Amino acid sequence: DQQVKQNSPSLSVQEGRISILNCDYTNSMFDYFLWYKKYPAEGPTFLISISSIKDKNEDGRFTVFLNKSAKHLSLHIVPSQPGDSAVYFCAASGYEKLTFGTGTRLTIIP
């Protein structure tokens, strides 16, 4: 089941620069998309979401972009900070359940 894919298992970014995390999906029935951040031995922490009727949502340093025709979403973090180092999961919702991607480990280099 590869309905939600994050093709980059890891990403390193210099502190202060922009981090861009990508996610692709295949199921056109998904109508809501979310990004979660996860530290080891903790549960996923909700970051930001976007409805399929929008193409952008912004919350502070975090912006999510949705390209429905390409079935692609991305999370931009600017400026990146050392505390942003974690695993980031995108998730998609069509009814009740969330379908998660495999995650991207983001490392912010001081």
Binders of other proteins: how many residues, by CB under 8 A?
23
Closer residue to other proteins, CB minimum distance, 34 or 108: 34
- Binding positions for other proteins, 28-67, rule CB under 8 A: 32, 34, 36, 41-46, 49, 51
User: What's 47-106 look like in SS3?
Assistant: EEEEECCCCEEEECCEEEEEECCCCEEEEEECCCCHHHCEEEEEEEECCCCEEECCCEEE
Q: Kindly tell me which residue out of 22, 74, 81, 93 binds other proteins, with binding defined by CB under 8 A.
A: 93
Token pair, residue 54, equals 């929008």
Smallest distance, Å, CB 55 to other proteins? 17
Check residue 27 for interaction with other proteins (CB under 8 A): no
72 contacts 26 by C-beta, under 8 angstroms = no
CA dist 9 and 4 (Å) reads 13
Check residue 21 for interaction with other proteins (CB under 8 A): no
> Rule CB under 8 A: which residues touch other proteins?
32, 34, 36, 41-46, 49, 51, 89, 91, 93, 95-103
